[in-house]
Structure 1
Amino acid sequence: MPVWLLWLIAAVGLAGAEALTGDLFLLMLSGGALAAVGSSLLFDNFVVDGVVFAVVSILLLVLVRPALRRRFAAGTGLPDFAKALEGKSALVLDRVARHEGQVKLDGEVWTARPLSDDDVYEPGDHVTVVRIDGATAVVFKSV
């Protein structure tokens, strides 16, 4: 079996294992193995292949992985527009109870539920948005 094929199998195997971990470590090693595939096609030397694998893997781990992790971590949390709706006043359009209700918030109709499951708000009531939970506004009646 050709050496380049072994490196290719290693690259695919490492990338597949990365799908199970999600840490981006094995993906960087997979990139190093892909570089070793190119090296083994150009040079017929196992030592050169190993050095190319090690150098490219270390460079990917040190330079690319931290940037990717920061990029993926930046996507957590609510979008800014959802956070901006918290604390705003809304008008109850349909009866808001534990499993039902709609409010008009910033000119848009939102599904709503009360902060306390026992509370019920009738159409025409003014409520305040506590938080946005998915596509549902969690509200309470301001006194």
Structure 2
Amino acid sequence: MDVLWWVGAALLFIVVEVVSVNLVLVMFAGGALAAALANALGAPVGVQFVTFAVVSGLLLFALRPWLLRRLRGRMPLVETNAAAQVGRVATVVADVGPAGGRIKLTGEVWSARTARDGLAFPVGAEVRVVRLDGATAIVDGSVPPMHLAPPAEPGFPEHKENA
């Protein structure tokens, strides 16, 4: 095998890693670069593949967990899609109880049920989504009132007068 083949494979792994950001394919890229070095040193093809596998495995199991901890420590994990709905406030549109019901959550109607037996929420009640069970929102408790500042009068910017 040629050194360029291994370098090309490493570049391909890196390009695909940029899209996925799972820190898996970049470890394979490291293994491919190690195999390219083995090729440049004159190692036979079998040794190159073993080098690729061993270095990739070491990077996956030794370096990747450390990198993930550092990355998550620097950037908070932002939930997306359905997981982002947990913790949001919803309005009951069809009575919700342990057997089911419907809520309006971020403009969409979801099937819902209560988190605990014995709870029930009437139409119009505000509830909080505590978790998701497939496509069903699990809700609990009424939402405490939020303490908001009174809105400013429209058209009048707020300013302090000099005394």
Q: What is the alpha-carbon distance in structure 2 between the residues aligned to residue 48 and residue 55 of structure 1?
A: 10
Equivalent pairs: percent with the same residue? 36
Higher helix share: 1
1:78-123: CA deviation from partner (whole Å, max 9, x where unpaired): xxxxxxxxxxxxxxxxxxxxxxxxxxxxxxxxxxxxx748622955
Structure 1 residue 64 corresponds to structure 2 residue 63: yes
Corresponding residue number in structure 1 for 2:143: none
Corresponding residue number in structure 2 for 1:73: 72
State the 1:4 CA deviation: 1.0
State the 1:76 CA deviation: 3.0
State the superposition RMSD in angstroms.
Answer: 2.2
Q: What is the alpha-carbon distance in structure 2 between the residues aligned to residue 27 and residue 54 of structure 1?
A: 13
Q: What is the alpha-carbon distance in structure 1 between the residues aligned to residue 41 and residue 35 of structure 2?
A: 10
Q: What is the alpha-carbon distance in structure 2 between the residues aligned to residue 18 and residue 34 of structure 1?
A: 15
1:28-81: CA deviation from partner (whole Å, max 9, x where unpaired): 00000000000001124100000000000000000110001000101234xxxx
The aligned runs of 1:28-107 (5 Å cut-off) are 28-77=27-76
Q: What is the alpha-carbon distance in structure 2 between the residues aligned to residue 40 and residue 120 of structure 1?
A: 70
Query: Match for 2:152 among 120, 123, 139?
Result: 120
Corresponding residue number in structure 2 for 1:81: none
Q: What is the alpha-carbon distance in structure 1 between the residues aligned to residue 70 and residue 43 of structure 2?
A: 38
Q: What is the alpha-carbon distance in structure 1 between the residues aligned to residue 7 and residue 26 of structure 2?
A: 13
Whichever residue aligns with residue 65 of structure 1, its letter is R
Residue 74 of structure 1 aligns to a residue whose secondary structure is helix
Q: Structure 1: which 5+ residue stretches go unaligned?
A: 78-114, 125-143
Q: What is the alpha-carbon distance in structure 2 between the residues aligned to residue 11 and residue 117 of structure 1?
A: 55
Whichever residue aligns with residue 39 of structure 1, its letter is A
Length-normalised TM-score, structure 1: 0.54
Where in structure 1 do 4 or more consecutive aligned residues deviate above 3 Å? Answer: 115-118, 121-124
Whichever residue aligns with residue 48 of structure 1, its letter is V
Corresponding residue number in structure 2 for 1:7: 6
Aligned residue pairs, count: 86
Corresponding residue number in structure 2 for 1:138: none
Q: Structure 2: which 5+ residue stretches go unaligned?
A: 77-146
